[in-house]
Amino acid sequence: MKTETLDPNTYLENIVRSALKELLGTKADQLPISLDRPRQPEHGDLGLPCFPYAKALGTNPAEAASMLAEHIHSDQVIAEVRALGPFLNFKLDRGKLAENVIQGILEGRPPFGPWPSNDLCVVIDFSSPNIAKPFHLGHLRSTVIGAALRRLYRFTGHEVHGINHLGDWGSQFGKIIVAWREWGDEEALVRDPMRHLFEIYVRYQKEEKERPELKERAAEAFRRLESGEDNDERALWRKLRDISLKAFQGPYGRLRVEFDHVTGESFYEDKMEAVVEKLEDAGITTISDGALVVEFPEQKIPPCILRKSDGTTIYATRDLAALFYRRETYKFDKALYVVGSEQKLHFRQLALVLEKLGWPQAKDVQHIDFGLILFFNEEKGRWEKGKTRSGNAIFLDEVLDEAVAGVRKIIEKKNPDLPDKEAISEEVGVSAIIFNDLKNGRIKDVKFDWKEMLSFEGETGPYVQYAGARLSSILRKAGVSIDSVLEEGEINFDLLEDAGTVLLTMMEFGPTLKRAVEKNEPSVLTSLMIRIASEIHSYLRDHRVLGDDPERTKARLALVAASRKILQTGLGILGVSAPEQM
């Protein structure tokens, strides 16, 4: 087997697997192999806990480790194998490690480059803002996490359909129609459509309490909209929808988010009746308080409403219609819904409906939930949902603008001669917001701390980008590029023995992507990017790349190029750019 064609991690796993096979035969196939970096670097580069093998080998873990050690045949890659108590520790040959990792990255081979197709199709439903309501911070998370997952799945060999399931239907639209008729202003709409629509919507909600007739009018408006006739309501709906769609291009452009399909809720307008019939035919619906529902008495959770007592549909109906349509159209193996954890119950209800239907793919439909965005309330001394003092939602644009302004100020101070300052400020500022959102586990609330946000120190997007910019700068000075560095002649990879830590961390790229996919968790990758950046920064402090020794310089340039490229790839998956200079 040619070691050159394998990434080091897989390679070691295979070695351990065959050693286990020699000892145990086919029984070895079920045993887990979890190689990880020991906490104490003296222990080795990779460690294997041997507890799981003790029983199979009929001995204690320490003895199992020793037995395994004897069956690991040292080769070019493995410099040393040693059993230490119940652990089997490996030390890798530094030159081979460097060669495999660096070449793998620079040549774009999996797992460092796009993975070969695995024939699995994934549908990702994300972002999905409400039409006629502004794009505020609340939409940021779904958008950013969904976009990252879309790229992550695609990179790892999946066929991906990223869908923007716009909230362009539903009874809220009746409210907007009434609000528009009451307070709509053409001029204001042209000037700043989202803000104007938001203002009249907020006003509606406030006045609805004092003027109950508004509520009736709104319900009537939605009923007329859903009637299918080409009436005034529909014309207005179309107009507001078009305006909103155009306005959303702003934030999507800045965040560099793309969709494969923009099929909003209205797309399923003519597909809902079939869904209702399907569920009725299956005999799982009942009428309760005049509404058509599916009940779940055993689970003790509220019923899933399919049609309200006024005869109009509800989002559950549309979600089911969308799901069936997507299954039919894309034949997905997995459907992900990137939606806040507030909606857990809704997705649980959908899952139960599917189960009752005996839908075979029910367990492949997953709610990818995430926490809230919180702001620190100085007066109350606690974290709260994002609202300004006037009670308005915080607009995404304002947040992005503020971050960009913060970056601009720092550039002015640290790198005033930088060309194209404005573009780079935008790039870095927006990235900082995205990165911040993807830094921690999805389920955690994102705590927006302006002071920390604008300092750009420590574990931030700019920190990782800065590492990339430093690397680029070195390549620029050397007059080589990522693509040309391997063509500069033979590289003596043994000279990179001082870069073991960085290389071992870069080696984690493949397993990290795998885990990120398994957990639908971009933050796993974000953390690795921070670690790689951190180790680069440290390495650059102690090791001069451009020096007197041409051999050493060449080897280190290869390392620099590979590091630069892996940062770019990783950040790219996250949706964060990697500027050449900053």
Partner RNA sequence: GCGCCCGUAGCUCAGCUGGAUAGAGCAGCGGACUUCUAAUCCGCAGGUCGCAGGUUCGAAUCCUGCCGGGCGUGCCA
Over the window 334 to 353, marking each residue x when it contacts RNA by CB under 7 A and - when it does not, the resulting string is -------xxxxxx-------
Over the window 351 to 390, marking each residue x when it contacts RNA by CB under 7 A and - when it does not, the resulting string is ---------------------x----------x-x-----
Using the minimum distance from each CB to RNA, give the nearer residue, 84 or 357: 84
How far is the C-alpha of 389 from the C-alpha of 293, rounded, in Å? 40
For RNA, which stretch binds (CB under 7 A), given 144-152, 232-240, 272-280, 544-552?
544-552
For RNA, which stretch binds (CB under 7 A), given 176-184, 242-250, 322-330, 462-470?
462-470
228 makes contact with RNA (CB under 7 A): no
Choose which of 21, 23, 38, 397 interacts with RNA (CB under 7 A): 38
For RNA, which stretch binds (CB under 7 A), given 10-18, 201-209, 237-245, 405-413?
405-413
Closest CA to 85 of 102, 100, 68: 68
Phi, psi (5° rounding) for residue 385? -55, 145
36 makes contact with RNA (CB under 7 A): yes
Task: Give strand pairing partners of 24.
Answer: none
Choose which of 463, 493, 506, 525 interacts with RNA (CB under 7 A): 463
The residues in 419-448 that bind RNA, with binding defined as CB under 7 A, are 424, 428, 439-441, 443-445, 447
Choose which of 139, 196, 241, 308 interacts with RNA (CB under 7 A): 308
Q: What is the phi-psi region of residue 458: left when phi exceeds 0, alpha when psi lies from -120 to 50, beta otherwise?
A: left
What is the secondary structure of 176-208 as a DSSP string? HHHHHHHH--HHHHHH-HHHHHHHHHHHHHHHH
For RNA, which stretch binds (CB under 7 A), given 82-90, 119-127, 196-204, 245-253?
82-90
Using the minimum distance from each CB to RNA, give the nearer residue, 159 or 261: 261
The answer to whether 438 and 522 have CB atoms below 8 angstroms apart is yes
Task: Give strand pairing partners of 387.
Answer: 393
561 makes contact with RNA (CB under 7 A): no
How far is the C-alpha of 356 from the C-alpha of 527, rounded, in Å? 40
How far is the C-alpha of 507 from the C-alpha of 524, rounded, in Å? 14
Q: What is the phi-psi region of residue 340: left when phi exceeds 0, alpha when psi lies from -120 to 50, beta otherwise?
A: beta
Using the minimum distance from each CB to RNA, give the nearer residue, 132 or 486: 132
> For residue 388, what is the DSSP state?
-
Choose which of 209, 300, 380, 389 interacts with RNA (CB under 7 A): 300
How far is the C-alpha of 504 from the C-alpha of 344, rounded, in Å? 39
Using the minimum distance from each CB to RNA, give the nearer residue, 191 or 544: 544
47 makes contact with RNA (CB under 7 A): yes
Helical residues (DSSP H) of 266-395, grouped into ranges: 272-281, 315-330, 344-357
Over the window 85 to 124, marking each residue x when it contacts RNA by CB under 7 A and - when it does not, the resulting string is xxx-x-----------------------------------
For the bound state, the minimum distance from the C-beta of residue 189 to RNA, rounded and expressed in Å, comes to 22
Using the minimum distance from each CB to RNA, give the nearer residue, 121 or 362: 362
The residues in 179-208 that bind RNA, with binding defined as CB under 7 A, are none
Edge-to-edge strands, sheet with 373-377 = 382-385, 373-377, 446-448
The CA-to-CA distance between both ends of the chain, in Å, stands at 44
Using the minimum distance from each CB to RNA, give the nearer residue, 247 or 499: 499
Residue with tokens 């200079």: 581
Using the minimum distance from each CB to RNA, give the nearer residue, 121 or 500: 500
Task: Let me know if 452 is exposed, middle or buried by CB neighbors in 10 A (0-12, 13-18, 19+).
Answer: middle
455 makes contact with RNA (CB under 7 A): yes
Which H/E stretch holds residue 565? helix 550-574
Choose which of 21, 37, 195, 224 interacts with RNA (CB under 7 A): 37
The answer to whether 411 and 418 have CB atoms below 8 angstroms apart is yes
Choose which of 160, 407, 532, 555 interacts with RNA (CB under 7 A): 407
For RNA, which stretch binds (CB under 7 A), given 78-86, 111-119, 266-274, 326-334?
78-86
For the bound state, the minimum distance from the C-beta of residue 184 to RNA, rounded and expressed in Å, comes to 20
The residues in 238-277 that bind RNA, with binding defined as CB under 7 A, are 265
Phi, psi (5° rounding) for residue 290? 80, 0
How far is the C-alpha of 501 from the C-alpha of 531, rounded, in Å? 10
